[in-house]
Amino acid sequence: MGCALRPPPLAAATRLPPPPHPLGRERLPRTCGSFLLMGIHTVLVLSADLADPDLKLLAQLPPETNIAVGNSVEAFQRLAADATVILSWSMAGQLLCDVFAMCPKARWVHSRSAGLDGVLFPELAESPVPLTNGRGVFSQSLGEFALGAILYFAKDFRRMNRNQEAGRWEPFDIVEIAGQTVGILGYGDIGRAVAARARAMGMRVLAVKRRGPSLDDADPLVQQVFPPAGRVEMLAQADYIVAAAPLTPETRGIIGEPEFAAMKPNAVVINLGRGPVIDEAAMVRALSEKRIKGAALDVFDNEPLPDGHPFYRLENVLLSPHCADHTPDWTEQAMRFFLAQFERFSEGKPLANVVDKRQGY
């Protein structure tokens, strides 16, 4: 998994002083027993923007904690030998590979992102060091985006906007979503957030799970669970298909030409997970030839989406520039999750969101 991009060299390590309440935000409560430190920890924070305001929240770590923030290998050279924690805040890839190699005492790596492409490189995957991610922090907003996309196509909001801008009064029929079927490919936190909202609207929910159906983990939100090999059977029944799977060797291109051929003519594809989970060329053909109704996309093979890409001109595409989870406080939520994780780590408690490094999520 690629450690391909090397960030530009910049910046020295920064020790964040404990400022007064930053930006007026409420500080996490700190009592004498707030952190029961098992030794003094050194935390390395990989951040593309050294002026990121959410970095000020790191001042809420115990005062004994050594913190270095940087976006180059040189920024971490002084403290790396003693580092116990690495936070991949807004940089990963080659820099994370290099920094991890400098940290023989590393005991935990945390990624702000839920997706792990560019984070789970071989040296980390093969090490005993636990990796955690931001899974679940952004799921509710992504579930709302999926529901919004379903309603966008069912009610044909694009046509309403076009008629309004043209000053045209043109009544037309719309679709009621109650009783329609949502098929979710990748039933994790995001998939469950979508399922909860779809069921609340009276929709039928199907899901593909890596382990397939199981009597031990029956989910009241889902009418039927399929194994990955049964995905075509699920897709053929779905009016809306939500891709929420992580990117792994097994999921790359899992929706391709055969899957599009199995879809209903009125099917809408919604991708919230990772762009390469769907064969982009096959999707462009299906949309251009009107073999499916439409697509709502938040993630892409290449980001930013290149100029002149067909997705920009296709009228049956709702395009989000990978910001469907960008609420005003999304990065603050991510940092507060890390702070809560650090408290667990310091107290010797089990970490949340531990990644199965063999499976890749």
- Considering the domain architecture, whether residues 189 and 255 belong to the same structural domain is answered as yes
Q: What is the mean pLDDT of residues 103-132?
A: 93
- Considering the domain architecture, whether residues 47 and 128 belong to the same structural domain is answered as yes
**Per residue in 20-52, pLDDT tens?**
333 333 333 322 233 334 568 999 999 999 999
**Per residue in 298-336, pLDDT tens?**
999 999 999 999 999 999 999 999 999 999 999 999 999
Q: Which one-letter amino acid corresponds to residue 258?
A: P
- The first and second tokens of residue 245, run together, are 């799977």
The pairing of strands 131-132 and 181-185 is unpaired
- Considering the domain architecture, whether residues 90 and 53 belong to the same structural domain is answered as yes
- Considering the domain architecture, whether residues 231 and 337 belong to the same structural domain is answered as no
From 25, 158, 252, 322, active-site residue: 322
Confidence band for 151, pLDDT divided at 50, 70 and 90: very high
Is residue 158 in some structural domain?
Answer: yes
From 112, 192, 231, 274, active-site residue: 274
Backbone φ and ψ for 261, nearest 5 degrees, come out as -65, -25
Pair 227, 211: CB distance under 8 Å: yes
- Domain with 44 in it: 22-137+328-346
Told to judge if 303 belongs to the known catalytic residues of this protein, a careful annotator would answer yes
**Per residue in 190-238, pLDDT tens?**
999 999 999 999 999 999 998 877 766 779 999 999 999 999 999 999 9
The residue among 282, 300, 319 that closes a domain is: 319
C-alpha distance from residue 59 to each of 14, 44, 236 (Å): 12, 13, 52
pLDDT above 70 coverage of the chain, percent: 88
Pair 103, 41: CB distance under 8 Å: no
Residue 1, pLDDT > 80, answer: no
How many domains are contained in the chain? 2
pTM of the model: 0.82
Is residue 14 in some structural domain?
Answer: no
Task: Using the structure block, give the residue that is written with the tokens 């004994």.
Answer: 64
Pair 76, 99: CB distance under 8 Å: yes
From 176, 303, 315, 347, active-site residue: 303
Helices (H), ranges, 57-210: 93-101, 122-125, 139-154, 157-166, 189-200
Told to judge if 15 belongs to the known catalytic residues of this protein, a careful annotator would answer no
Task: Report the pLDDT value the prediction gives residue 34, as an integer from 0 to 100.
Answer: 31
Q: What is the mean pLDDT of residues 269-273?
A: 96
Is residue 2 in some structural domain?
Answer: no
CATH number of the domain that residue 133 is part of: 3.40.50.720
